[in-house]
Structure 1
């Protein structure tokens, strides 16, 4: 039996989705265009599965599902869009940028 999660869409609707997510939906979640929520629309927090998860995010911290570290230079563009969103970019504007522009703007400069 598939696990069901709830996603908050761009228009504010809450949508039940079975895992694994379809590739286009997963890409939009990775980019930060969709956000995982509880069934009632409240912010989703992962259940602690070990010491790596820690406590739920507080105010000003990123929601679950977005990258916690800068992606590799050869990572897919969707991961770089998600990283840009974590850094404060608008998801749609970041998605409109090229991967090279995302890396230049939000990546750590190469030495």
Structure 2
């Protein structure tokens, strides 16, 4: 039995969708054009995950680029991540989905990525 999630579309309607999502829907969700919500339309908060068992992990430690952190909605993608991930990151950083999608991957990395040391 597939897991069902709820997605708010561009027009504001709430749609039940079975996982895995079709590729075009997943890409729009990744880019921030669609939003995952609860069935009633309230913001979706993923369940908290336990802290990693890695003995080197310290609470409050800044993640490496592309590293997923439990409890946070997203982290900066790796420099070699696809454009959709960078569009989603730009949206998290304040860009509109349309503005970010109109930029090249290189421009997104330059504007919204952490500068290389």
Provide the C-alpha distance between the structure 2 equivalents of 1:104 and 1:53, rounded to a whole number of angstroms: 26
TM-score by length of structure 2 reads: 0.78
Following superposition, the deviation at residue 48 of structure 1 comes to: 2.5
Root-mean-square deviation (CA, aligned residues, Å) is 1.6
Q: Secondary structure at the match of 1:15?
A: strand
Provide the C-alpha distance between the structure 2 equivalents of 1:107 and 1:53, rounded to a whole number of angstroms: 21
Provide the C-alpha distance between the structure 1 equivalents of 2:48 and 2:81, rounded to a whole number of angstroms: 27
- Unaligned ranges ≥5, structure 1: 58-63
- Unaligned ranges ≥5, structure 2: 52-68
Q: Secondary structure at the match of 1:84?
A: helix
Number of equivalences: 100
Match of 1:47 in 2: 47
Match of 1:104 in 2: 110
Larger Rg: 2
Match of 1:93 in 2: 99
For the pair 1:21 / 2:8, whether they are aligned, the reply is: no
Provide the C-alpha distance between the structure 2 equivalents of 1:48 and 1:95, rounded to a whole number of angstroms: 30
- The 5-angstrom pairing of residues 6-85 of structure 1 reads 6-51=6-51, 53-54=70-71, 64=73, 68-85=74-91
Provide the C-alpha distance between the structure 2 equivalents of 1:49 and 1:69, rounded to a whole number of angstroms: 16
- State the 4+ residue runs in structure 1 displaced beyond 4 angstroms: none
